[in-house]
Amino acid sequence: MDYVGALRITSGPSMLPTMATSGESVIESKLSFNLNPRTLRRGELISLESPLEPGRIVCKRIVGLPGDIVCVDPTGRLAPSTEHTVVPRGHLWVIGDNAAASRDSREYGPVSISLVRGRIWARVSCLST
């Protein structure tokens, strides 16, 4: 199952309002990424190993692919909003949907594609009766 996908429980505020701060269940699709990592697209949610905390899996949105010129920090909070960089080959630029509470490429720079675990394929809702 580890090669096909996994059910993950999210925690933390970095993906608000897309995901809850705790208890959100998501399906991580590893198979589609492992078969063809070149199919990653801007706007997709991915799971990846944190470059700052090895072993910790985080969820972020892809905003830049290899060769893209990206604004380092569109919010202007961590860097001037006029500062741009080129995403190197084999890397992605990722940002949390809640930029004010997200540690992402604005802090640690481009992320190696080798850290990507999979795509976030779906959220799972549990309805109580």
Cβ atoms of residues 93 and 118 within 8 Å: no
Predicted pLDDT of residue 56:
92
**Better pLDDT: 67 or 125:** 67
> Any bridge partners for residue 58, and if so which?
48
Query: Count of CB atoms within 10 A of residue 72's CB?
Result: 17
Q: Where are the domains of the chain?
A: 5-124
Amino acid at the residue 73: D
Tell me the CATH number for domain 5-124. Answer: 2.10.109.10
Percent pLDDT > 70 in the chain is 94
pLDDT at 125 over 70: no
Q: pLDDT tens, 72-122?
A: 998 888 888 889 999 999 999 999 999 889 999 999 999 999 999 999 988
Q: What are phi and psi of 31, to 5 degrees?
A: -60, -50
Q: How far is CA 101 from CA 15, 35, 80, in A?
A: 8, 33, 18
Which two structure tokens, joined as six digits, stand for 84?
A: 């741009």
Q: Reply yes or no: is the peptide bond before residue 13 cis, omega within 30 of 0.
A: no
Q: Which residues are catalytic?
A: 14, 60
- The structure's pTM equals 0.87
Predicted pLDDT of residue 18:
82
Say which range, 16-20, 55-59, 61-65, has the weakest mean pLDDT: 16-20
pLDDT category of residue 2 using cuts at 50, 70 and 90: low
**Which H/E stretch holds residue 32?**
helix 31-35
Say which range, 27-31, 58-62, 71-75, has the weakest mean pLDDT: 27-31
